[in-house]
Homo-oligomer: A and B are copies of this chain.
Amino acid sequence: MREVFQQSLREVQDRLVEIAELVEESIQKATTAFSHSDVALAEQVIDGDEEVERRVASLDDLSIDILARQQPVASDLRLMVGALRMSASLERMSDLAGHIAQLARYRYPESAVPSGLTDIFLRMGEVDVVMAGKLVELLRTQEPRTIAEIRDLDDDLDELHARVFEKVLSNKLSDNPTGVVDATLASRYHERFGDHAVDIAKYVEYFLGGELR
């Protein structure tokens, strides 16, 4: 039974890694679409979100099936519950990539990036992409070092988020309310993207023997 469970677990892990890879691709495309007003790329991200949703639903079915058939207890049970939580976070990350892409599409052929904020948003996009890559690595290898790296990247993101507001509130965009709205939303989406990555990292840490809260 134990061996069957280990096999199931490996299957769950593989699928989490695959979904995380799709999210990485998504946020990469979304941030490029946002910075370069690439509407075709934006459409790809928005369409790709459905694929992530399908895979998350199918993984959740598998997890519930494992819970039912193999009735794991103790740490194995917590692992399965954790898988359900992590899949939900990955789904939200994909949604947020979609929201960023949508901002690019709404403003096309104009740019969704208000002038003066190009560099900050380029940097936010880079941090998101690196973070998503680290998440793939963490889910694949369970390397504890990666958890600290994800937390550090999230700190960078929070700092950039604060800088966006500073710029926006410094009145430099006062003739451009659309720019203020776009910057506020985009920055919030990036920040939430990072929060979900940290949530997933926390779950992995917890399973590696740390404490969840």
A88 on the B face (CB < 8 A)? yes
| CA–CA, A50 and B68, complex, Å | 33
User: B171 and A213: CB pair below 8 A?
Assistant: no
Contacts of A81 in B (CB 8 A): 64, 67, 84
A6, CB-defined interface residue at 8 Å: no
The verdict on A7 contacting chain B, using a C-beta distance below 8 Å, is no
| Interface SS of chain A | helix
A174-B175, A184-B184, A185-B184 known; A77-B64 Cβ under 8 A: yes
- Which bucket holds chain A's interface residue count? 20 to 34
Closest CB in chain B relative to A190 CB, distance in Å: 14
Tell me the bound Cα distance from A99 to B169 in angstroms. Answer: 19
Residues of A within 8 A of B (CB): 57, 64, 67-68, 71, 73-74, 77-78, 81, 84-85, 88, 165, 168-169, 171, 173-175, 177-178, 180-181, 184-185, 188, 213
B213/A57 in contact, CB under 8 A: yes
Q: When A and B form their complex, which 3 residue pairs have the shortest distance between CB atoms, in order from nearest? A: A180-B180, A184-B184, A71-B71
In this complex, what residue of B is CB-closest to A73?
B68
Q: How far is the CA of A213 from the CA of B54 in the complex (A)?
A: 10
Q: Which residues of B contact A64 (CB under 8 A)?
A: 77-78, 81
CB-defined contacts of A175 to chain B, threshold 8 Å: 174
Q: What is the chain B residue whose CB lies nearest that of A167?
A: B177
Note all chain B residues with C-beta closer than 8 A to A77.
64, 67-68
A8 → chain B closest CB, angstroms: 15
